[in-house]
Amino acid sequence: MKPEELVAYIGAAAWIPQIATWIYRAAVRPKLRIVTEQNAEIGFTGFGPIFNVRMAFFVERRDMIIDGIELTIRHEGGEQRTFHWAGITETFSQISDAFGNRQQTVSRDQTPIAIKVGTQAFLEKMIRFQEPRFHQADGTLMRTLVEHFNFLKQKDSATFVPETLASKQFYDVIEGRHAGFWWKPGQYVVDLKLSSPQRFTLRTTRWAFTLAPVDVEHLKKNLPSIDADLRNTVNSNLPDHKPEPLPWVWSYAPLRHA
């Protein structure tokens, strides 16, 4: 073998470990499993229908990035809605008294962009889901209200707040938000969909929960608070305004595998 041929063979052999790594990464997909907390938090506020649930993410084979989480929630009557992740809360520590009541919680809220799940330890986070369909409709009405608000403010800085509160545009937003109340008694099926820049395997993830009539009536108590929330926003333009308290109520629905 000539010296130049030997050098070529040695050079090619040096690439074998790197090529093997590339092949391994392409062939071995992350295998993801998700476990949820026992109960989901169901709500309705000025942000529309809300579905919050704590999730633990377990991944095997390789670390992976998750850049989107979506839920399809289908009522037994056939109507279904799509919810996207809208917020993430990570709890670092909790302090409770002798009776188990939480006295202090240290946590961090973040807007979801992406999360990394590693093979060395599971990842646990509270994922807050909201409905884009509601936000799209509400955003259109709110832009009209803001335009009218600015017009009234330029016209008369002394009366623009009460005129805004009495305007059709204000009540259009209120009616639109009330119309977005979707929860009804019955059984729901929840299907989970994740997106990632990597190819991955997700174990079948489907849950079910039930809302009783009393749960729905409980959630409807938030409708007056939605009105008060918008009034607080407009009235905040008045000097020395004290916002009206907003007693949001929630329902907690046990989750079961479906």
Question: Which helix (H) or strand (E) segment is 48 a member of?
Answer: strand 48-60
Local confidence band at 205 (pLDDT 50, 70, 90 cut-offs): confident
Instruction: Match 């369909």 to its residue by tokens.
Output: 133
The domain segmentation of the chain, as residue ranges, is: 32-130+183-239+247-257
Contact of 115 with 70, CB cutoff 8 Å: no
Question: Which helix (H) or strand (E) segment is 129 a member of?
Answer: strand 123-130
* Whole-angstrom distance, CA of residue 228 vs CA of residue 231: 5
Is pLDDT of 182 > 80? yes
In sequence order, what are the residues at sequence separation of 6 or more whose Cβ sits closer than 8 angstroms to the Cβ of residue 172?
141, 144, 145
pTM exceeding the 0.75 threshold for the entire prediction: yes
Is pLDDT of 256 > 90? yes
* Whole-angstrom distance, CA of residue 111 vs CA of residue 216: 28
Instruction: Match 């489907």 to its residue by tokens.
Output: 206
In sequence order, what are the residues at sequence separation of 6 or more whose Cβ sits closer than 8 angstroms to the Cβ of residue 184?
75, 77, 211, 216
Strand 68-75 to strand 48-60: parallel, antiparallel, or no bridges (unpaired)?
unpaired
HSE, CB side, 13 Å, CA atoms: give it for residue 101.
3
Taking each helix axis as running N to C, give the angle between helix 16-27 and helix 3-14, from 0 to 180 degrees, rounded to the nearest 10. 30
Give the pLDDT confidence score for residue 7 in this predicted structure.
Answer: 46
Closest by alpha carbon to 53, among 146, 123, 127? 127
Percent of the chain with pLDDT strictly greater than 70: 83
Closest by alpha carbon to 30, among 118, 130, 145? 118
**Residue 186 φ/ψ region, left for φ over 0, alpha for ψ in the -120 to 50 degree band, beta for the rest:** left
96-106 burial, b for 16+ CB within 10 Å, e for fewer?
Answer: eeeeeeeeeee
What is the mean pLDDT of the segment spanning 233-243? Answer: 91
What mean pLDDT value characterizes the chain?
87
What is the mean pLDDT of the segment spanning 66-78? Answer: 96
Cα–Cα distances in Å, from 128 out to 112, 190, 204? 9, 14, 21
